Chain A
Amino acid sequence: MPGLEDLYREIILDHYRNPRNRGELEVPPAHRVEGFNPLCGDEIVIYLTVDGDTVTDIKIGGQGCSISQSSASMMSAAVKGKTVDEVRELTKSFKSMMSIHEHSLEGEDEPAEPTAESVAKLGDLEALRGVVKFPVRIKCATLSWNTLAQGLDEALAGA
């Protein structure tokens, strides 16, 4: 049976206690997007500046549990300065680590296990791997990523 230490790794608690990129950006030029976890009431606000094809700045607001907050904090650090394609790739790797695969009902493909390479790219985010063993908490970890994906789509559509 998974223990609490699998879920609450030290680096997660560090990001929870000292969240990175916390705050707001001026809208516009930044884009603002909100995400909700209807299950537990967690709320996240992401401010995103996309310049050309690069995420030049990101700030995080809202409130939530240690898993959702640390995931958002680590995400902000990981995507800042990355290109949109790199961010989308990272999102895919992260969600794959969370055992979330974009299933197609027609597809024959077995979802690929996350590769060592894709996990390596996740850096600190790898600490969230233990969340998979606590299925109810997966939505906490992915809230910021889903919200970011929505924000990117909106920011690019509006550009």
Chain B
Amino acid sequence: MALTDTPHGGRATDADPLDAAAIAADFPLLGTTSHGRRLVYLDSAATSQKPTAVLDAMDRYYRTINANVHRGVYDIAEQATSAMEAARAKVGRFIGARSTSEVVFTKNATEACNLVVQSWGRANLAEGDVVVLSLMEHHADIVPWHILAAEKGLELRWIGVTDDGHLDLSNLDQLLDGAKALGVTAMSNVLGTITPVADLCAAAHAAGAVTLIDACQYVPHNVTDVAAWDADFVAFSGHKMCGPTGIGVLWGREELLDAMPPFLGGGEMIRDVRTDGFTVNDLPWKFEAGTPPIAEIIGIGAAVDYLEGLGMDAVRAHEVELTTYAMDVLGQRFGDRLTIHGPADPAERGGVLSLAFADLHPHDVAQVLDEHAVCVRAGHHCAKPLMRHLGVSATARASVYVYNTPADIDALADALDATAEFFMV
């Protein structure tokens, strides 16, 4: 079938609806200094900073209702259980889930991907079966498939990337022909590209393939509706959306999750254990073996509250505004010396700017930026197939979030000027 190139979600606005400078005051770490300068944090694609509301929610749990969940009948144990399950409901509503049965907590998005591959994949794929991935995938959506492919003899096919940083969908029907699964990102962590997830899911389903969407970069920055996508599995993490580390989410279509074998075994995930076997618990606990990260689950719930307070439409509009500003300013100041990988139109991308600066290695650029208290990520961003496609070993990546302001972009540009001066390029 023919697919449109229209990205899901992105749209530009004339005015920035967020007061980012005021928002920054909610994040204690952003008030600190590094090398004697105001900290300029431009690495939210790696992990976001945490607002006081999230830190306080986790602290409150430990200080006032710390008890294990789904076990004790005493007051604080019930409070802990209901706080955790309330957070699950918040996360579910935040992404358009139909029921909390579909919201499985994992330790991170990587584990969520591994859960799908090891549980659904192992039960449903056999030798010669085809799995389609894209060259934009993070290693978390590649390596688990490699592991299963080596074991089962699966064929991996790859959706390419066009010169303007979009998925190359020209041969999608051929790639999906006979495929059993499609693993694809909703937003590239390197190029910022927002992919047409709903169209990809429709094409995959038409071919009979199940879809795993890596929404790590998408969920923190956009209105997410897993039902509108018509996806089968969606993975994302808490720590990129103002929540703590150690908590990831796998949303899955209930009938699929229901039919899948368990992933990890232990307490919590069982209904009964005998000497000759066991029966599994109901969803979602069937996939949550052992004591869960209770404080972190409460933390991601508080993060959802915080982001909903800002409004995800406003978050997206702010980032389009700031990305536009960054691309304009960097383009004007550095011209041909600076390349920003990925789509040229800010409406088609998130606030992730992978930079190539003169002939300098990203590691060296990031080192000088650090001297100016500008935090960016230098490296391959866990996306080596994409790096090879781009013909680079690494990029310096600046990424923005709700608390970043044009002043942060100016600081980045000034620090790049200093970098050019230092290395005489």
Residues of A within 8 A of B (CB): 1, 3-4, 7-8, 13, 39-43, 63-67, 69, 134, 137, 140
Contact = CB atoms under 8 A, between A and B. Distances in A.
A41 B387 contact: yes
Interface stretch (B229-237, B362-370, B401-409): B362-370
Interface stretch (B172-180, B303-311, B378-386): B378-386
Contacts of B422: 4, 8
Contact of A4 (B371, B378, B380): B371
Nearest to B383: A41
Contact of A40 (B35, B368, B378, B423): B378
Nearest to A38: B380
Given A1-B35, A4-B422, A64-B393, A40 B380 contact: yes
Interface string B383-401: 0100100000110000000
B51 to A, nearest CB: 28
A43 B361 CA distance: 13
Nearest to A140: B363
Nearest to A13: B423
Contacts of B364: 8, 65-67
Contact of A42 (B368, B371, B393): B393
Interface of B: 35, 361-364, 367-368, 371, 378-380, 384, 387, 393-394, 422-423
B367 A43 contact: no
A65 B378 CA distance: 10
Contacts of A41: 379-380, 384, 387, 393-394
Contacts of A63: 361, 393
A4 B423 CA distance: 11
12 contacts: A4-B367, A4-B422, A40-B380, A40-B393, A41-B379, A41-B384, A42-B393, A64-B363, A65-B363, A65-B364, A66-B361, A66-B364
Nearest to B384: A41
B380 A134 contact: no
Nearest to B378: A40
Contacts of A3: 371
A39 B393 CA distance: 11
Nearest to B360: A66
Contacts of B35: 1
A10 to B, nearest CB: 11
Given A4-B368, A40-B380, A64-B393, 4 more contacts: A8-B364, A40-B363, A64-B363, A65-B362
Contacts of A7: 367
Contacts of A134: 367
Contacts of B393: 40-43, 63-64
